[in-house]
Structure 1
Amino acid sequence: MRDLIIYVILAAIGYFIGSKFRHKKEKLAWTGKFQTVAIVLLVLTMGSRMGANDEVIENLGSIGVYSLVVTVVILVFSIIAVFLARKVLRIDRWGMLVSTDVDNDSVTQEENSNAEGGKIDKMTLVIIGSVILGLICGFAFVDKIFDSYETFNTIAGHAIQIGLCILLSLVGLDLGLDGTVIDNFRKVGLRVLIFPFAIAIGSIVGAFICGLILPLSVKEMLAVGAGFGWYSLAPGIILEAGLAQASAVAFMHNVMREILGIIFIPLVAKKVGYVETIALPGAAAMDVCLPIVEKSTSGNIAVYSFISGLVLSALVPICVPLILAA
């Protein structure tokens, strides 16, 4: 909770500063490149942390396969759920209410997207490369440089926290420089709250289907799916219920959901829609993945992302115990 408050305050400060320098927006274009560099360093650190984690490496066998299947199925159903919710709410792929008025920014964005054709987004390639390099470095070098994983994990944790503080300040700065976010959010209103619940439903439906085809019970798979990407909480709750294998799958699934979210956010933004990107990371949409969502989409979607991640995080300690108690 403390970290969340810090992130919100820093984003608010960034927004305030950006709003005061809106007339010098062109001169502050360099912040976009700085943000990209910061994202790369953040993803590298996260990848190294995962690559050095023995628990992750040890679970790359059958549990890793189960977790990958669960993650892919849940991501697909989450995206479908957000897509359907967006259509019902009459919100376009850019996160704007559908109207007869033509939004120039949206038109420009669509033209740019179409002009790129079938090319793979550069940000996607950069993120994939950063994740792979981080995993390799973590697996091959961390134990040679640090006395223990705990030491490295502590340092990496602080580095990630500092990186998130910097990135969320920059996200706030971008929103302030843009100057349209508040007006656009007012137009969408409470509709934005529908999306995290759509993601939750999509995740649960995907988990239910996995429970029918994988060697874990439907109840266990529903509990795994209800983790919504929060890998430090859901596995512990499941383990306390005496479900060791399901806990391991939950841990790997939630790790994979965050990593695959980081990798595929730019691709989903380009090929499916901006709003659908918030379905990928689940609870991590409000912190770790928020800068990547904002960088790959727009300031409007950053608001969607934060609210979605916040609601999903609140649902995890409610849904997982309820499912296990049923």
Structure 2
Amino acid sequence: MADLALYLGIALLGYIIGSKINISHKVLALTGKFQTAAIAVLVLAMGLRMGANQEVIKNIGSIGFYALVMTVFVLIFSVAALYIVRRLMGFDRYGMLGEGEVRDYSSSNNEGSAGINKMTVIIVIAVMCGMVAGYLLLKFYIEDFNSYDHIMGTIIKVGLCVLLLFVGIDLGFDGTVIEHFKKIGIRVVIVPVAVIIGSLAGAFVCGLVLPISIKEALSIGAGLGWYSLAPGIILEKGFVIASAISFIHNVLRELLSLVAIPFVAKKIGYLETVSLPGAAAMDVCLPIVEKATRSEIAVFSFISGVVLSAAVPILVPLMLSL
């Protein structure tokens, strides 16, 4: 909760700065380039942290395969669920509500399509390099993993704060966020509900085809990308294998989302990008969503991440009690 308050405060500070200070488009373009560089550093730090984590490395095998299958199904079903909900609520593929509100985002999208592809490549390379470097550091250099993990965690948190500050500045500079959400109203909460339904539906299908029970599969899906909490709850109930699958699945959900967000934004829809990372939509993946879509979608992303984070400690024990 302390981290949530910190991230929200930083984003609000950025919003105030962006709305009060007259920022030229040239300066805004420079901040966009800085955001891309900061995202690369952040993702590299994530790779360094996970590559040095023995729990991740030792479970890359059959358990890793099950986790990968679950992640693919959960992502597909989550996107499908939000796609259906978006159409039912009357949003276009750019997240705009109603014909009278439609703006031409297609030209800016085409203009930035190369940038989006470039960002995806940067993210993939940064993650891979980070994980390889993290593994080598663990094998030949790191003596105290806990200290190393703490340092990486601090770097990631600082990087997130910097990125969220710039996301807030973008939102404030745009100046239409409050008006947009007055028009949308309570429908903003339907987005995380759709993500939950899609995640659980994908997990249920996996429970039918993988050598784990439906109960275990649903509890893994109910983790919603929160790899530091959900596996612990599952392990506490005595499901050791499911806990290991849950950990890797939630890590993979975050990593694959970083790569998939630009693609989904371009090919399917802006709102659907929010469904991919689950709980991480409010922090790690928020800058990627904002960069690949537009300012208002970042607000959807943050609210969805907050709601999903609050739902995890309720849903996981509930699924295990079935």
TM-score, structure 1 normalization: 0.95
Q: Report if the CA contact (8 A) 2:64-2:248 is conserved.
A: yes
Within 2, Cα distance between the matches of 1:200 and 1:78? 8
Q: How do residues 125-144 of structure 1 correspond to structure 2 at under 5 angstroms?
A: 125-144=121-140
Q: Report if the CA contact (8 A) 1:196-1:311 is conserved.
A: yes
**Structure 1 residue 27 displacement after superposition:** 3.0
**Structure 1 residue 141 displacement after superposition:** 2.7
Within 1, Cα distance between the matches of 2:56 and 2:95? 36
Runs of 4+ in 1 over 4 A off after TM superposition: 114-120
Within 2, Cα distance between the matches of 1:53 and 1:23? 42
Q: Is 1:83 the equivalent of 2:105? A: no
Q: Report if the CA contact (8 A) 2:116-2:292 is conserved.
A: no
Over 3 Å counting, the alpha-carbon distance change for 1:23 and 1:115 in structure 2 is closer
Task: Say which SS state the counterpart of residue 146 (structure 1) adopts.
Answer: coil
Name 2:118's counterpart in structure 1.
122
What's the CA shift string for 1:220-270, capped at 9, x where partnerless? Answer: 100000000001111111111111001110111001001111111111111
Name 1:252's counterpart in structure 2.
248
- Give the AA of the match of 1:318: I
Within 1, Cα distance between the matches of 2:93 and 2:220? 29
Name 1:281's counterpart in structure 2.
277
Name 1:314's counterpart in structure 2.
310
Structure 1 unmatched ranges of 5 or more: none
- Give the AA of the match of 1:216: I
Over 3 Å counting, the alpha-carbon distance change for 1:34 and 1:142 in structure 2 is farther
Over 3 Å counting, the alpha-carbon distance change for 1:295 and 1:203 in structure 2 is same
Within 1, Cα distance between the matches of 2:132 and 2:181? 41
Task: Say which SS state the counterpart of residue 99 (structure 2) adopts.
Answer: coil
**Which of 147, 151, 158 is residue 151 of structure 1 equivalent to?**
147
Name 1:188's counterpart in structure 2.
184
Name 1:52's counterpart in structure 2.
52
**Structure 1 residue 102 displacement after superposition:** 4.0
**Structure 1 residue 114 displacement after superposition:** 4.7
**Structure 1 residue 147 displacement after superposition:** 2.1
- Give the AA of the match of 1:201: I
Query: Percentage identity across aligned positions?
Result: 55
**Structure 1 residue 180 displacement after superposition:** 1.5
TM-score, structure 2 normalization: 0.96
- Give the AA of the match of 2:135: F
Q: Is 1:37 the equivalent of 2:33? A: no
